[in-house]
Amino acid sequence: MSAPLENLENQLELFVENIRQVKIIVSDFQPQGQSVLNQKINSIVQGLQEIDKLKSQVQDVHVPLEVFEYIDEGRNPQLYTKDCMEKALNKNEQVKGKIDSYRKFRAHLLEELSQVFPNETMKYRTSRGDDVNRIP
Amino acid sequence: MSESFTIQVADSLRRFEPNSPRSSPRGNRSPVVPRQQDSTGTLKTTISLGKTPTIVHTGPFYLHKELPGDTDLTGATNLMAHYNLEHSYNKFSGKKFKDSLSSFLPGLPGMIDTPGNTDNSSLRSIIEKPPIGGKELAFLNSSQLAGFRLHPGPLPEQYQTSSLAPLKKKQKHKKHKKSSEISIQETGAGIAGPGIGVVGEGGAGSGGESYEKKHKKQKRHEDEKDRKKKKKEKKKKKQKHSPEHPGASASIVTVFFQNEDAAFLGEAFADVIQPDEKLHGDDELEANRKRKRNIQKELSF
């Protein structure tokens, strides 16, 4: 992971920890905790300032919207990456299959046409610049 | 007059001649064909304009088009290898990822696996309605912090959110342990009898699983209490069986009293052994030991 992202992650973790501590203080508040609460509130503001400073370093990081759907469902975002790669691989295989099928069809068609229309097929292949003797 | 008449006749003839350019709305002009953008290559044709515009195909074959340029990268190539993603793919496909968000972010406190729609904390809502920003983030002064003065005491129940982490699957081992403990207790009642209560009557079996799911915390407390009781009773037993303990004789007699079969013996020998008496001297100790042995022999028969 790059340094700016690591810094941002650390800063966010510290911020969340601050919030958690404020939650603990507030859940069973005691008068002597008022000063601590005030300090924590100011540390929250400081945390927000730090995060705001880091935003310029991560401007070029693009996150796909579909990842947000995974996160909103409470799912692991690494599963999105895994699903993406699997989809890409499947599509690659699909397209490769189509290309291979079309190539085989072209070869078969040329073979049959050369038997039925030999002269025209020769003309066609020379116009295409194909090697007449090469099997397509 | 004659000219206008001829024009009118010509017009009428045009109207009544079917399938003729003259009957068409555009006259003798060529029909308008919607132009479809064909990206498969340029058509080798020549268009001749003039009185009779025609489209002449100059290529050797009808609809003979130029092929698109050859590209090195097509779908036929292994794109994972091309973009050096094989290692990443093997890593993601080989490793088993847990489905929960908490497994990706174990350091975050609270329940993060719940959907964002339930508590209005979804990222989608932030994208659709971004919060107002751009303002300066300034520290709060003392007068502003006065607004955060709180009343002492705990939060009302309606505002208390459980901060406990979600229950882990390790409890399954505890369930198995509980069921094994229960089976041991039920089979090994023996002398103890009703003196030691059976733990969790509904704990064993499938019916107990649903009960445990609903009342897990209560069971834990009950189990802890039972374990403490067992420990105390074990200690008592050990102390009972030690000959130096003054109350040993009394405890043995009371155990025998609980057993219905030996109740009559207990009554018979109650006068012999008085549990409240304190033992004095070694002679009395030896005498009591002998009495115990005799009683045990008689009961064993």
CB of A84 within 8 Å of a chain B CB? The answer is no
Q: Residue B116 has what pLDDT?
A: 84
Average of pLDDT values for B266-293? Answer: 55
Contact B75 A99 (CB under 8 A): yes
Q: Residue B239 has what pLDDT?
A: 66
Tell me how crowded residue A48 is: count the other CB atoms within 10 A of its CB.
13
Report how far residue B208's alpha carbon sits from residue B221's, in angstroms, rounded to the nearest whole number: 16
Q: Residue B93 has what pLDDT?
A: 87
**Helix/strand/coil for B7:** helix
In B, minimum Cα distance to A67 occurs at B123
pTM to 2 decimal places: 0.52
Tell me how crowded residue B168 is: count the other CB atoms within 10 A of its CB.
7
ipTM exceeding 0.95, yes/no: no
Contact A45 B103 (CB under 8 A): no
b/e sequence A59-79, b meaning 16+ C-beta within 10 Å: eeeeeeeebbbbbbebbbbbb
**Helix/strand/coil for B138:** coil
CB of B160 within 8 Å of a chain A CB? The answer is yes
Pick the most confident of A101-115, B53-67, B93-107: A101-115
Q: Residue B11 has what pLDDT?
A: 53
CB of A82 within 8 Å of a chain B CB? The answer is yes
Decide which of A36 and B5 is more confident: A36
Quick one: CA dihedral B27, B30, B34, B35, positive or negative?
negative
Looking at chain B, the number of H-run helices and the number of E-run strands are 12, 3
CB of A89 within 8 Å of a chain B CB? The answer is yes
B210 pLDDT higher than 70: no
Contact B104 A78 (CB under 8 A): yes
Contact A73 B115 (CB under 8 A): yes
Which pair of structure tokens corresponds to residue A27? Answer: 């859940």
Residue type for position B32? V
A53 pLDDT higher than 80: yes
Domain boundaries, chain A: 1-61, 64-136
Q: How confident is the model at residue B112 (pLDDT cuts 50, 70, 90)?
A: confident
Least confident of B92-96, B171-175, B192-196: B192-196
Q: How confident is the model at residue B204 (pLDDT cuts 50, 70, 90)?
A: very low
Pick the most confident of A37-51, B3-17, B61-75, B92-106: A37-51
Residues of A in contact with B150 (CB under 8 A): 26, 29, 34, 37
Looking at chain A, the number of H-run helices and the number of E-run strands are 5, 1
Which pair of structure tokens corresponds to residue B76? Answer: 């036929």
CA distance B213 to chain A (A): 23
User: Strands, E, within chain B: which ranges?
Assistant: 45-48, 54-57, 153-154
Q: How confident is the model at residue A9 (pLDDT cuts 50, 70, 90)?
A: very high
HEC profile of A107-127 = HHHHHHHHHHCHHHHHHHHHH
The values of phi and psi at residue A67, to 5°, are -65, -35
Residues of B in contact with A65 (CB under 8 A): 127
CB of B158 within 8 Å of a chain A CB? The answer is no
Whether A29 and B150 have beta carbons less than 8 Å apart is answered as yes
